Amino acid sequence: MPSTFDEIFADLPVMAIFRGMEPQRCVELAERAWAIGLRCVEVPLQGPESRQGLEETVKLGASRGHLVGAGTIISVELVRQAAEAGAVFTVAPGFDPEVAEASRAAGMPHLPGVATASEVQRALASGLTWMKAFPATVLGTGWFGAMAGPFPGVRFVATGGIDADNAAAYLQAGARVVAVGSALRDDSQVDRLAPLLRRLRSRGRSSAILVGHAIGMLIEAGPFRTMPASRPANPRWAASPSARTLPTGPATRLRPRR
């Protein structure tokens, strides 16, 4: 069973969230999501009915090799309930160090919600490198490029307002994963996500490549200077017929080859 988000999201950078749905509806949507290739789903814990939905979805997912996490985990008590229900990971709308530590102690990686640089910094100081950018459509696609500068090692899951129409834009902007939630109340959303999943597979574009592309675009738009002559020559650069430049700043990222 995967124990890190790197493993959990290794197959595909898309997750489904089943919020406020009856247990049977959770199971039905999970089956449809798994059928189109979505391996990872989240069931928020918000009351007895949602716990039943989580337990039933976890049971069905385990029998088929699929991953189910618990969302809206905002207390240590909810961490306990998520663990008892068999959740593989936990998600929260904000960052609470006590909740994050309790989830980690229970063997479930925790995905905290962040919206500001200060929140990202605090979560990172607690050892968390995967975070939920929430609410994503309020933050906008530009937020991901802005955060990539000071926090290049943090991986964001875009959540809140994501649907089949805008998911690709957030992946292209730098989100490592997109989570589709309330949009799934529309029965057509799962089927409309299928073409995006097929494109991601057919192009061989893992979430890492998508982020690399976004960072490359940021470098292109930034200030450049010529590489100092004192720097040891790199044969790959020397072989180029045109002069190459590097961006200023403490960290250099090169555009991935396409």
Which of the following is catalytic: 22, 101, 132, 220?
132
Determine the Cα–Cα distance for residues 192 and 189; give it in Å rounded to an integer: 5
14 in Cβ contact with 205 (< 8 Å) = no
pLDDT confidence of residue 185 = 78
| pTM for the model | 0.78
Q: Residue 235: pLDDT above 70?
A: no
- The CATH classification number of 5-207 equals 3.20.20.70
The verdict on whether 132 is a catalytic residue reads yes
Most confident among 17-21, 186-190, 209-213 (mean pLDDT): 17-21
How many DSSP H helices and E strands does the chain contain?
A: 12, 11
Tokens of 250: 């403490």
The verdict on whether 42 is a catalytic residue reads yes
159 in Cβ contact with 133 (< 8 Å) = yes
pLDDT for 101-135, tens place per residue? Answer: 999 999 999 999 999 999 999 999 999 999 999 99
Radius of gyration of the chain (CA): 20
Which of the following is catalytic: 22, 28, 42, 119?
42
Q: Which residues contact 155 (CB under 8 A, 6 or more apart)?
A: 5, 129, 130, 131, 176, 177, 211
